[in-house]
Amino acid sequence: MRKNILITGASSGLGKGMAKEFAKQGCNLALCARRFELLEQLKSELEQVNPNITISIKVLDVNDHEHVFSVFNAFKEELNGLDRVIINAGMGKGASVGTGYFNANKQTAQTNFVAALAQAEAAMEIFRAQNHGHLVTISSISAVRGFRRAMTVYAATKAAITSLSEGIRIDVMHTPIKVSCVHPGFIRSEINEKVKTVPFIVDTETGCKALVKAINKEKANSFVPTWPWAFLHWILRIAPLSTIRKMS
């Protein structure tokens, strides 16, 4: 069992939901996000869920790359090692390329990929020194194709995350370090709360249970919830552009 788990972007949405599920399983938690007051609230909730676990919280803006390294190392020292790091922090701002929203698209690209790279670097330095650990990246079903409008840059960053994860996985093959990339379908969270009609969307709790189940299996790639995404992602890969256009 992976006992000590670090989750970024843990103050809300999928990060918060996963923290609750891991708390039920008796895991010690290292939780970080930008909003400390929400982390404090979450810590109190988790202590009610399981009073026998250690919960450490720290403020972290993942775009402050030097701070990523210092926070990850501080968590490692507090918990006497890290068994799993879940790179979850992300955002979904953006608009069609060339329509005057470069700053929003850039912010999404930096947060979802460059900051994720910083988190992966920090986690893997710890895992390499320990010679064990489980790196988990949260990609998206959107990684399998390009999408239009607000999804264009978001989908591109998630495709990059999937590729980055595979590269790291190849690098540490035949070692005690494991790398998993999870591709959620549509799960209700802060990032999509304003979107009204979404196909096959599930509530946050259902989605997070599926995420944690997939993470614990430690497969290289997983698509969750299993129905319909374990099947549907293959259809998306070969669907004509006209179909993809209607979906986004």
CA-angle at 153, arms to 210 and 16, nearest 5°:
30
> 225: cis peptide before it, omega within 30°?
yes
Positions marked catalytic: 154
Sheet arrangement for strand 28-33: 55-59, 28-33, 4-8, 84-87, 133-138, 177-184, 221-224
Q: Using CB atoms within 10 A of its CB, is residue 55 exposed (0-12), middle (13-18) or buried (19+)?
A: buried
d(CA 141, CA 158): 8
221 with 181: CB under 8 angstroms?
yes
